A and B are shown apart, each in its own frame.
Chain A
């Protein structure tokens, strides 16, 4: 009788252990999946839709609703251009690079917005991230892409002010009051770009 009770007790303990192991494993799987999901949304944008779904990650997103960090950079002709000189204008601050394929696909759309909403005061600034690249090369690339808006020479310190800009493209839509209304990481669709532009007009 005692032996039977002992065996039954052991069975209950093992079954309890089985439930615990099952729950623990399920919990660990959930955590692992969450970690993988976090990594995907943090480091990769697998499609334009995903890229623009929700807010971008990193420090850049924390700038939404805040005053856009000021900067003074040099354009491709050597002329100084500062964000402050466009006070009262809606401004699109777009970080790009000559080596970034998605950037070069969205830039013609910014040019289109530039032409379409010029009368409403829209300003587009393309901040090159080609550190160490000859200015002539940046100019050549911009010409090939077909943009006529201001392209500004690289300065890593400005990217740091905008959250580090870990990957490209990253875009900040600044309203007439100098506040960042929308942030976007990765190349979105043309319609999404236009919708974002309309938010700051």
Chain B
């Protein structure tokens, strides 16, 4: 009886070990999948986060367009402090959704760490452009372009334009 009990205990331990190993394997595999799913930073350095918004049809509504600048980079705000710097500007098509007004966020002060440096007015991380729109009933595409110019602490990339397409659902 003792022999059988000890054999059963041994088998039980083995099964528990097997179960633990399977769980650990599963965890490792899950971590790996998570790594693979990370989106690499784009060369454009700015991305549009908004893709669809719901508004009341036929009424003037506030809509936020959310953008994100890659970590380590900045773009000039809509009102840079130097006349030669290129401001961030959104140009929207008039078709479909009527855009009544655009409001850009205030930039943050950023000192370029070169020599004595210079103070810039920039957007970093996430920033939001507020629009007042009147949308018809149903789904309409709000489209346009965001013009900006990105730099990091020591170098700048040429001015770029980012296509903007957001579905506005008028309900």
Contact = CB atoms under 8 A, between A and B. Distances in A.
Interface of A: 3-4, 7-8, 10-11, 14-15, 17-18, 21-22, 24-25, 28-29, 32, 35, 39, 43-48, 50-51, 97-106, 109, 129, 137, 141, 144, 166-169, 185-190
A28 B117 contact: no
Interface size class of B (residues with CB under 8 A): 35 or more
Q: Which of B29, B40, B115 has the most CB of A within 10 A?
A: B115
B21 A18 contact: yes
Nearest to A8: B14
A48 B11 CA distance: 63
Give 8 closest A-B pairs by Cβ, nearest first: A186-B154, A51-B154, A45-B154, A186-B155, A14-B21, A98-B84, A100-B156, A7-B14
29 contacts: A4-B7, A4-B14, A7-B14, A7-B15, A8-B14, A10-B14, A10-B18, A14-B21, A17-B25, A21-B25, A28-B36, A43-B43, A44-B72, A44-B152, A46-B72, A46-B152, A48-B113, A48-B153, A97-B156, A101-B82, A101-B112, A102-B151, A104-B118, A129-B158, A137-B84, A141-B84, A144-B84, A168-B156, A190-B115
Contacts of A21: 25, 28-29, 32
Interface of B: 7, 10-11, 14-15, 17-18, 21-22, 24-25, 28-29, 31-32, 35-36, 40-41, 43, 72-73, 82, 84-86, 112-115, 117-118, 120, 149, 151-159
A11 B113 CA distance: 57
A51 B155 contact: yes
B151 A28 contact: no
B153 A99 contact: no
